[in-house]
Every structure is written in C-alpha cells, then in structure tokens.
Amino acid sequence: QKEVEQDPGPLSVPEGAIVSLNCTYSNSAFQYFMWYRQYSRKGPELLMYTYSSGNKEDGRFTAQVDKSSKYISLFIRDSQPSDSATYLCAMWGANAGKSTFGDGTTLTVKP
C-alpha cells in the first residue's frame, strides 16, 4: 500500500463548478502538506502549503487538512478553464527527509 493515495480521476467539470481533490495518507508523522499544479509539458508548481491540521485559503483555492483522519483536500471555487491541469498532493515529515507525492488527479474544466 502506498503512503499517499490520491483520487485518480480524471475529473471533468463545467466552468464555474466547485472542485474537490482529495488525498489520504498512512504516515502519521507527516507535518507539512502541499498541493502542486502541473500544466502539460511543464514541471509541477506549488499551489498551496500548509502545516498541520486546519484550513488555508488563497483566492479561489482552499486547502484542508484533517490529521485525525489522515485526509487532505483541495477545493477550487468558481473553476476556470485555466485550472485545467494535473494536481498532485505531497507531504513531508521530519522522519522522511523528502516529500512523498500522490499520483495526481487530472482536471479538465470545460467552458
């Protein structure tokens, strides 16, 4: 079993929809939680970065971490065609020394 499991997708939604992307993990030592966005033929770029449990909001994006359930989510409000990309969750803990990535969810937002 992988340390980080990500909803596989692909996901296709109409413009303006609310999108929920999710990951679960098994390592309770993970402390930092990240979401990366990857456009086609580009490297992943950091979208959201959170520490421990709680919510963090940045514009249309909200990252949610529930450490008790070992579950993290990324919500996108009022989704736009420009949000079409692959989204990767990642986690880091002091005992690991390196980030562990999910396999990614490909999102398409249709105009």
Q: Which is nearer to other proteins, 2 or 77 (CB)?
A: 2
Rounded CA Rg of the chain: 13
Does position 110 interact with other proteins (CB under 8 A)? The reply is no
Least separation in angstroms between residue 11's CB and other proteins is 16
Question: In a 10 Å sphere around its CB, with 0-12 CB exposed, 13-18 middle and 19+ buried, how is residue 31 labelled?
Answer: middle
Of 85, 88, 107, 109, the one binding other proteins (CB under 8 A) is: 88
Q: How many helices (H) and strands (E) does the chain have?
A: 0, 11
Instruction: Establish if 61 lies at the interface with other proteins (CB under 8 A).
Output: no
Selected range binding other proteins among 21-29, 53-61, 72-80, 94-102, rule: CB under 8 A: 94-102
> Chain-centre distance of CA 3, in angstroms?
15
Taking CB under 8 A as the binding criterion, the range among 12-20, 54-62, 69-77, 89-97 that sits at the site for other proteins is 89-97
Q: Residue 47's CB: how many other CB atoms inside 10 A?
A: 18
Give the integer Cα–Cα distance in Å for 25 and 4.
Answer: 4
Is 92 near other proteins (CB under 8 A)?
A: yes
Q: Which residues bind other proteins (CB under 8 A)?
A: 31-32, 34, 36, 41-46, 49, 88, 90, 92, 94, 97-99, 101-104
